[in-house]
Amino acid sequence: MTAETLRIGSRGSELALWQARWVEAQLRRAHPGLAVALEIIRTTGDRILDAPLSAIGDKGLFTKEIETALLERRVDLAVHSLKDLPTGLPAGLALGAVCEREDVRDAFLPHPRNPVRTLAAQPHGAAVATGSLRRKCQLLALRPDLRIVDIRGNLNTRMRKLEESDWAGMMLAAAGVKRLGWEKSIGEIVEPDVILPAVGQGALGIEIRVDDARTRALVAPLHHGPTAAAAYAERAFLRVLEGGCQVPIGTWARIVTDGGRPVLRLDGAVGSLDGTRVVRGSAAGDPGEAEELGAALAHRVLADGAAAILAAIRSAV
């Protein structure tokens, strides 16, 4: 690898490659003449597809092998869906940039032969597929009658499984569906006040080595301050709760204007696996204190009952 070539590490799914190539295009636009190469790295999460994420753990499932390549200097940066990136990064690595967020919401994709397009209008006992305990919890809180089906695989695989099934539909992050140009498959976009998104959902994180000043400078133009503030608050919320794919945790931060000044608003929720208990909370504060805001809200929901929910889940696991 020459010093002039910037190497990007990415998973090999169609969505991951779309994201990596988008970052590559932004880098070339910001730095004309920059030589950029893409290296595909298969992760543990890509190899194990026959078990729910909650059953195999979630610490670095989709990032560990890419981070190893970073630390071994085989690549210079990694492009992640930020919701896949654990809140605790390995020593020597850091978030170099957080890119502007796409749609933060979840989407309901009905079966191609299902004429009922919205989630609320599905018949009693309808089967809805998702690979997320966060979605499962909130779906059951809304509709205890639903039959939740676990689904794994990349978006192409999930779409094929839906087409071959008798399910009413499935839930996916709207951002990924839109990035692949599948908007026509969406029956309904579900608002965050109905189902809270995952931490970092819709945003891309660029991971780099702490000591790599050149790469840090190259990715700096891709950093989006408002998205980063929201992501830092959400990740701090998750970090205090010590959650992940094994725990139903949803959160959404965004910057709004209040009295002419920017305010960071954060909503968060922790729920039981069956959706019968959900503890919610909200907070607002200075965008410059995003991590403090996220941590404070996490401590509040813990005191309001989330601690008991988490203890029960971990005891069961």
**Torsion 105-106-111-114 (CA) sign:** negative
Rounded distance between C-alpha atoms, residue 70 and residue 58, angstroms: 20
* 106-190 and 5-100+203-223 share a CATH fold: yes
Q: Which two tokens stand for residue 124?
A: 């009693």
- Contact between 107 and 177 under an 8 Å Cβ cutoff? The reply is yes
The topology (CATH level 3) of 5-100+203-223 is D-Maltodextrin-Binding Protein; domain 2 (3.40.190)
Neighbours of 105 (CB within 10 A): 20
Contact 92, 71 (CB under 8 A): yes
Q: Across the chain, which distance is largest between two alpha carbons, in Å? A: 60
Asked whether 152 and 52 are in contact (CB, 8 A), the reply is yes
Angle ∠(136,273,172) on CA atoms, nearest 5: 20
Pick the CATH number of 232-316 from 3.30.160.40, 3.40.50.620, 3.90.1150.10, 3.80.30.10: 3.30.160.40
Task: Classify residue 175 as exposed, middle or buried by CB count within 10 Å of its CB (0-12, 13-18, 19+).
Answer: buried
Q: Which residues are catalytic?
A: 84
Q: How far apart are CA 240 and CA 138, in angstroms?
A: 21
**Are 250 and 133 within 8 A, CB to CB?**
no
Rg of the chain, C-alpha, whole Å:
19
At 56 the pLDDT is 46
Nearest to 174 by CA among 151, 136, 153, 203: 203
Q: Is the pTM of this model over 0.75?
A: yes
pLDDT computed for residue 67 by the predictor: 95
The three-state secondary structure class of 286 is: coil
Residue spans of the chain under pLDDT 70:
1-3, 44-61, 243-245, 317
CB distance 133 to 310 below 8 Å:
no
Q: What are phi and psi of 194, to 5 degrees?
A: -100, -50
Residue recorded with tokens 């909650």: 54
E strand segments, the chain: 5-10, 35-40, 77-81, 93-98, 106-110, 127-130, 147-150, 169-173, 188-190, 204-209, 249-258, 261-271, 278-285
pLDDT score for 246: 74
The model's pLDDT over 235-276, given as tens digits with 9 standing for 90+, comes to 999 999 986 667 899 999 999 999 899 999 999 999 999 999
Residue 293: burial class (beta carbons within 10 Å; 0-12, 13-18, 19+): buried
Name the residue with tokens 């039959």.
147
Give the 3-state secondary structure of residue 227: helix
CATH of domain 106-190: 3.40.190.10
Walk across the sheet containing 204-209 and list its strands: 35-40, 5-10, 77-81, 204-209, 93-98
Q: What H or E segment, with its residue span, contains residue 296?
A: helix 290-301
Residue type, position 203, single letter: A
Q: What is the 3-state secondary structure (H, E, C) of 30-83?
A: HCCCCEEEEEECCCHHHHCCCCCHHHHCCCCCCCHHHHHHHHCCCCCEEEEEHH
Which contiguous run of DSSP H or E holds residue 264?
strand 261-271
Which pLDDT belongs to residue 43? 75
Ranges of each domain in the chain: 5-100+203-223, 106-190, 232-316
